Chains A and B, each alone.
Chain A
C-alpha cells in the first residue's frame, strides 16, 4: 500500500480530482464510491452491534449517519477505519472496501488504514503537552517526516483548510489547550488533514460546541467535501439536513434507510425513518 504522506500534495489533489466529485444526489448517474461496505456485522462480545449492513459511501460528498443512542452508528463509523478493533472482544464479519481495496485483508496494516481514513471525535482532544503547531504535525512526525520546510508548509496548509490559520498564526507556540472549544475542534480537524487522508470520519463533531463554533465547523465540512469524502455521525437532525448529501438511518444495529438527504428529510420511504426524524419515535 502506498504511503500517502510521501506523495507531494499536488499529486494527491490531482489524483482526487481525477476520481471525480460526486454528482448531485438526485442525479441519475451513480456517484463515484469511496467505500463499499458489504454485509458487515459487528459483535462486542455476545452483543450484536451492527447487523448485516450494506452501504456505499459516495466520494466527495458528506454522508450523515443518524439514529437513536445505541443504534450502532458510531460502531459503523469506527468500522470504516478499523477503530472499533481497539475495543476488546470485538468480532466482525463482512467487507469494507476503500476504493476497491479490502481494509480488513490480512495484509493491510490498521495504522495505515487510520492514516488514509482520519477521524475527528465528539470531544476535541488536542495533545495537552504540545503547542498548536506540534499538535498539527504530530502525525507526520510520528511517520518519520523530518523536513522542517515541508512540515511548516503542511502546518500552514492544514490550518488554512481547517479555517484556523488566521486565528492562530501568531500563537503557534502556545499550547493547543489554550484555544477555545470550537478552535480546539478545528485544530483536531487540521491534525487529521495534515496527513492528507482520503476520508474524514466525524463522530458528533459539534455536540460540545456553541452555535457559532458549530456553524464554523459546518461551513468547514461543506468546504472540505470538495477534496475529501466525509462521513459524520450526528444526533442533530437539522445539522444532518444542512450539511449532508446522503443520510443513513440506523436502528438497533440495522440500516433502516439510506438515500439522498433531501429525500430522507422530505419523503422517507420507511415508516421507522419518518417516525424518528419527525420526533414520533418509540
Chain B
C-alpha cells in the first residue's frame, strides 16, 4: 500500500518488484502446500513429486528477494514505512521458504504412506491442515493489506493449531500401540502433523512481520515480555 509516488521512479519500481516477488513466492508456497496435502489425501504420487520439484523455484525466489532487498537498502537507504516494507519482505521470504520446505517434507512422507494400504487416521490431519492453511492465507492477507487487526488475530490462532497437533499425535501414538504393524505409517502421520504445526509457526512470524510493516509495532514474544 504505497501512498504516493516517490521522487525517484526507480525506487517505486524496485519496491514494486520486491513486493511482486514476495507475492509470487507466497502463491507458489500455497500451491505446494495444497498439492502436498492433496497428494497425501488422494494418495497421488505425481502431486507429491511436483511439490518436491517446485521447491527449487521457491528457493531461487528467496535468494532473489534477499538480493533485491539488499540492493534497495544499498541504493536508496529507505527509511520509515519504506524501510519496514523492505525488511519485512526479506523476513517474509525466509518464512515462505520454510513453509515450502514443510510442504516438501509432507510430500515425501505422503509418498512413503502411499506405498502401504490407506490409514483412516489420515483424517486427523485434515483439521490441522485447514487451520494451518487459513493462518497462512490470512497472514499473507495481513501483509498485503497492511491489516494490523488481522495480523494480531492470526498470531492468536497458533495455540489452537498446537492443541490440534497434540491431540492428533496422542491418538496416533495410541494407535501405534494397538496396531504395531502400521507403526511406520502412524509415525509418518505424526511427522506430517508436526510439519503443519511448523507451518502455523511460520504463518505467525509472517503475521508479526505484517504488523511491524504496517505500524512499526513489534508484537513478537509479548507474553514473555509481560511476564518478566
Contact = CB atoms under 8 A, between A and B. Distances in A.
Contacts of A273: 80
For chain B, which range describes its interface: under 10, 10 to 19, 20 to 34, or 35 or more residues? 10 to 19
A277 interface: yes
Chain A interface secondary structure, helix, strand, loop or mixed? helix
Interface in B76-131: 76-84
Given A278-B6, A280-B6, 10 more contacts: A265-B79, A265-B83, A267-B84, A267-B216, A273-B80, A274-B80, A274-B81, A277-B80, A278-B81, A282-B7
Interface in A219-267: 237-238, 241, 265-267
B167 to A, nearest CB: 41
A228 B5 CA distance: 40
A144 interface: no
Contact of A280 (B5, B76, B84, B215): B5
Contacts of B78: 278
B1 interface: no
A275 interface: yes
B151 to A, nearest CB: 16
A271 B80 CA distance: 11
A268 B83 CA distance: 12
Nearest to A266: B216
Interface in B130-184: none
A280 B3 contact: yes
B215 A267 contact: yes
Chain B interface secondary structure, helix, strand, loop or mixed? loop
B191 interface: no
For chain A, which range describes its interface: under 10, 10 to 19, 20 to 34, or 35 or more residues? 10 to 19
B8 interface: yes
B222 interface: no
B4 A275 contact: yes
Contacts of A266: 79-80, 83-84, 216
Contacts of B84: 266-267
A100 interface: no
A275 B4 CA distance: 8
Contacts of B215: 267
A237 B5 CA distance: 19
Contact of B11 (A237, A279, A282): A279
B80 A265 contact: yes
Contact of B8 (A238, A267, A279): A279
A282 B8 CA distance: 12
A278 B84 CA distance: 11
Contacts of B81: 267, 274, 278
Given A266-B84, A266-B216, A267-B215, A278 B5 contact: no
Interface in B9-53: 11
